[in-house]
Each structure stands twice: as C-alpha cells, then as structure tokens.
Chain A
Amino acid sequence: MSAAFKSELISMLPSLRAFARSLSRNPAQADDLVQDTLVKALTNIERFEPGTNLRAWLFTILRNHYYSHLRKAKREVEDVEGRMAARLATRPAQNGAIDLEDFKLAFAQLAPDHREVLTLVGASGCSYEEAAEICGCAVGTIKSRVNRGRKKLADLLGVDGEDQGALSGVLYAHDTASP
C-alpha cells in the first residue's frame, strides 16, 4: 500500500466510524465494523481502481459487512429497539425543542435502510448517486427511502413531517393563529 493511499485511508476513518455508528448503534460494535472493513478493504485492495471514489468503496464494504452480520445478530437488535422505544416514549418532544440524545434514540428505531440513506445523504454529504452506488440500488429508491425515513423520524419525534410544518404541534397546532 502506498503511503499516499494509506493516508487517504486514514483520512476516511472519521467518516467510516460515523457511518458505522449510524448502522450499528453499539459504539464498540461500530468500531469492530470499521476494523473489519479495513481488513476487507486491504485484503481486496486490488479491486479498488485508483482514482475512483474511495469513500464510496469503503462505505459499500462496511455496509455489506454490516448486513451480513446483522442477520446473525437480529434478535439482539430487536431487543435494543424495544428498550429504546420504551425510553423514548417517556420523553416526548417539548416545546418543539429536540434534544440530540432524544434524536439519536428516535433515529435508532428506524429500519437500517432508512438509517443508512439518511446518514449518507443527510449527514455524510453523499450525493443521491453515491448513495445509490453504496446501497446497490436505484437513485429513485434512495430518494423515496430518504423521504420515508424522514417522515418516520418526524413521526417518532413528534414534529410535523410536512415541509412547511413547524416544529411539532406545539407551535402550529391550531391552524396558524399567527404568532
């Protein structure tokens, strides 16, 4: 591995970790995922075409590895989701303010295909095309997943999912009796 490639790889580690954390909600597992991704990437390094999108390549490896691992760990995941739902239910959004920790709990309840597209497109700065490449599906599929994921998240958070809607019913519940 060339020094240049290595440093490029190192520069990808923060976003790989962040992407992994959005998939696997357990931080230690997320880091294991990144570690496995590095091993796989370097084992298959000859499959990477220099000059192409390294981040997308790494994200794809990480994602595929996550899903193959997920099948094994399904039961555990469901258990985590149940507990998170219970916790979130006790802390409804108040006055339209959303605490980041509450947001994370709500986010964690989304299906993995919603979590991944929201993270890729909404946070990591991937284009729809890149996200489609990473997830191995059509751009249109990514777009509709983003919309559905966002809608689900808005529901979970108790904020209005409609575009012009304000934060939650608290602010605009009563047919805009303007402020």
Chain B
Amino acid sequence: MEARVASKDAPGPPSGGASGGEPPGGGKSGKPGISAKALITRNLRLAYDEVASEPVPQHFLDLLNQLDENKDAGKKEEGQ
C-alpha cells in the first residue's frame, strides 16, 4: 500500500512560483513512513503554488499603472 499524495493536476508552468517547491507527487511519495507533518507541508505548498503559478490577471497590472498615474490625485479605485 502506498502512501501517496494525490495532486490532481499539478500546477504546470514553473513561472513565478513562490517557494522553491519540490516536484509534486514525486518519488518520495511512495515512502511508507512519511509523517503527517511532511504530508501537510507538501499539500500546503501544492495549494499555495497552484495559485501562485497562475498568470497574474491583467486587471492587477492595469490597477498598478493607474495608481501610479493617479498617485497625487489620491486613491481612485476602491476594490469593493
């Protein structure tokens, strides 16, 4: 019986990933003695990297540009 961590679709492109994560679902996962701590850490990273590896939505960049331009005029866009 294998102690494995199922990682659905692992976040693909190694673009702007945050933490230097190990490859998901890698070789270590077959090790029977993997601790709950290691398991949790791995999944924490997977969940985090999944978001961090998404391309940054354009509206953030637009917002930054806009804020930059309007800096002196005070804040213009409130997010909600």
Contact = CB atoms under 8 A, between A and B. Distances in A.
Contacts of B50: 18, 100
A56 interface: no
Contact of B52 (A9, A15, A122, A153): A15
Contacts of A171: 1, 3, 32
A100 B33 CA distance: 19
Interface of A is mostly: helix
Contacts of A11: 16
Contact of A97 (B3, B53, B57, B78): B3
A12 B27 CA distance: 30
Contacts of B5: 97-98, 100
Given A17-B51, A97-B5, A10 B78 contact: no
B71 A42 contact: yes
Interface residues of A, number: 55
A171 B56 CA distance: 41
Nearest to B80: A32
A122 to B, nearest CB: 4
A150 interface: yes
Contacts of B53: 14
B49 to A, nearest CB: 7
B47 A103 contact: yes
A85 interface: no
A170 interface: yes
Contact of B43 (A14, A100, A124, A163): A100
Interface stretch (A76-84, A130-138, A154-162): A154-162
Contacts of B61: 10
Given A166-B33, A170-B1, A35 B47 contact: no
